[in-house]
Structure 1
Amino acid sequence: MLTISGLVKKYGAGDPVLKNLDLEVEGEQILSVIGSSGAGKSTLLRCINRLVEPTSGTITLNGTDYTRLGKRDLRVARRRIGMVFQSFNLVDRLTVMENIQCGRLGYISTWAALTRRYPKEDIRRAFDLMERVGIAHYADKRADELSGGERQRVGVIRALMQDPEILLADEPTASLDPKTSEQIMMLLRDLASELKLPVIINIHNVNEAKEFSDRIVGMRYGRIIFDDLPTALTEDAMHEIYAGIPLADRQAEGAAA
């Protein structure tokens, strides 16, 4: 279970980006976080694995308070949190297999990583996952030769290679065309079910959030103002989350993100 209590993130002397935020996530659910730009969605995800340092509050994953960990312990603990990025974060000159094995860097020796002598069981696991998402035939292909959807699949597998206890996805479909976006969302949903894995997705596309999520959290100005089933996300709830922004403007904002 992920438990966030009283989370605050403040930059300088301005208003906090996150304001005393509380959230619990458990089970194999897909939780989508929606809200206007600047609502604090990305900051929330990045605080969970401390890519951004919280100002105060606690973030506890299965009994470990990540806000209290020192640098050494944090490096080890981060293996339990997989992260999928909007910009893929692949090393273009490396092959698909080499990029995927980056998910195991927290488990193997520096020498093995530098010489690319990956354990046989890690290679087998990578091939199994690549088969699962239909890209095993790209194992020896450079990352910069792949399409956006293929690159994001590599990013998902790399995160799963960590054997995470939770998966975070920060705008995983924002750089993709509509058809590929749906495929990635469907993949995340299916993997969450198959691996019994909770997944938190920061997403602009509300229709995709409603179609593929088990639960939706709406944020506005650093606070959670909606937390319910997708079927409860009415136009009135949308109006509150997006502060009265017309639907057409919200759709345009999502397309431009």
Structure 2
Amino acid sequence: MLKITDLVKRYGSGDPVLKNLDLTIEGESVVSIIGSSGAGKSTLLRCINRLVEPTSGSIELNGTELTKLRGRNLRAARRKIGMVFQGFNLVDRLTVMENVQSGRLGYISTWAAIMRRYPKEDIRRAYELMERVGIAHYANTRADQLSGGERQRVGVVRALMQDPEILLADEPTASLDPKTSEQIMGLLRDLAGELKLPVLINIHNVTEAKEYTDRIVGMRYGRIIFDDKPGSLDQEAMDRIYSGSPHADRSEDLRQAS
């Protein structure tokens, strides 16, 4: 279970990007986060895996308080948080297998990684996952020879090779055509069920969020203002998520402080 309590993220002396945010995700649910640019969606995901340091608040994953971890303990916790990136984040000159095995870097020695001496069990698991997502025949192909959808599948397998307890996806379909986007969203939904893995997806495409996720969280200016099943996301909710203004949000802050 992921439990976020009273999370605040502030850059410098400006207004907080995340404002006292609470969010709980349980089981194998697929949860999408929607909202305009600047709502705080990507910052939220990056606070969870500590790519961005929270200013205050609590982020707990299956009983481990992530915000208090440092050094070796933080690196160990990050192994359990898989991340799928919008820009794929592959090493183009490496093969698909080598990119996939980078998901195991937190588990094997530096020497083994440099020499590419991957454990047999890791190789077996990589082929199993690549077969599941339809890229096993590209195992020895350089990453820069793949299409966008194929590259994102590599990114998904790399994240799953970490044996994560949660999978985060930051705009995983933004660089893809509509058909491929639907394939990737369907894949994430199916894998969540098969692996009993919670998935949290930051996404701009509301239609895909409603079609492929179990729950939608709507953010505006650092706050969660909608959290319900896709069928409850009506036009009124959409207007609140996408038609607000920074001025209105500051007024809300003043009302809450008074």
TM-score, with normalisation over the residues of structure 2?
0.94
Q: Counterpart of 1:158?
A: 158
Q: Counterpart of 2:80?
A: 80
When residues 244 and 47 of structure 1 are mapped into structure 2, their CA distance, relative to the original with a 3 A threshold, is: closer
Q: Deviations over 1:196-253 (max 9, x none)?
A: 00000000000000000100000000000000000000000000000269xxxxxxxx
Q: Counterpart of 1:134?
A: 134
> Partners of 2:181 and 2:128 in 1: how far apart?
23
Q: Is the 8 A contact 2:217 2:228 kept in 1?
A: yes
Q: Deviations over 1:163-200 (max 9, x none)?
A: 00000000000000000000000000000000000000
Give the fraction of aligned pairs with identical amino acids, expressed as a percent. 80
**How far apart are residue 71 of structure 1 and its match?**
2.0
Q: Counterpart of 1:255?
A: none
SS where residue 98 of structure 2 aligns? helix
> Partners of 1:15 and 1:135 in 2: how far apart?
44
Pairing 1:219–2:219 present:
yes
Q: Counterpart of 1:62?
A: 62
SS where residue 226 of structure 1 aligns? strand
Q: Counterpart of 2:252?
A: none
Pairing 1:97–2:85 present:
no
> Partners of 2:21 and 2:176 in 1: how far apart?
30
> Partners of 1:10 and 1:134 in 2: how far apart?
41
Pairing 1:203–2:174 present:
no
Q: Counterpart of 2:180?
A: 180
Structure 2 residue identity aligned to 1:25: I
> Partners of 2:65 and 2:152 in 1: how far apart?
30
Structure 1 residue identity aligned to 2:25: V
Q: Which runs of 4+ in 1 moved over 6 A?
A: none
- What is the count of residue pairs matched by the alignment? 245
Structure 1 residue identity aligned to 2:221: Y
> Partners of 2:66 and 2:243 in 1: how far apart?
32
Structure 2 gap segments, 5+ residues each = 246-258
Structure 1 gap segments, 5+ residues each = 246-257
**How far apart are residue 88 of structure 1 and its match?**
0.2
> Partners of 1:92 and 1:126 in 2: how far apart?
18
> Partners of 2:164 and 2:135 in 1: how far apart?
21
SS where residue 7 of structure 1 aligns? strand
> Partners of 2:195 and 2:70 in 1: how far apart?
29
Q: CA RMSD in A?
A: 0.8
Q: Deviations over 1:133-160 (max 9, x none)?
A: 1110000000000000000000000000
SS where residue 43 of structure 1 aligns? helix
Q: Counterpart of 1:241?
A: 241
> Partners of 1:71 and 1:220 in 2: how far apart?
33
**How far apart are residue 72 of structure 1 and its match?**
1.8
Structure 1 residue identity aligned to 2:187: L
Q: Counterpart of 1:117?
A: 117
SS where residue 182 of structure 1 aligns? helix
> Partners of 2:64 and 2:122 in 1: how far apart?
26
Farther-moved stretch of structure 1 (140-149 vs 71-80): 71-80
Structure 2 residue identity aligned to 1:160: L
Structure 2 residue identity aligned to 1:194: E
Q: Counterpart of 2:19?
A: 19
SS where residue 238 of structure 1 aligns? helix
> Partners of 2:147 and 2:172 in 1: how far apart?
14
> Partners of 1:80 and 1:137 in 2: how far apart?
27
TM-score, with normalisation over the residues of structure 1?
0.95
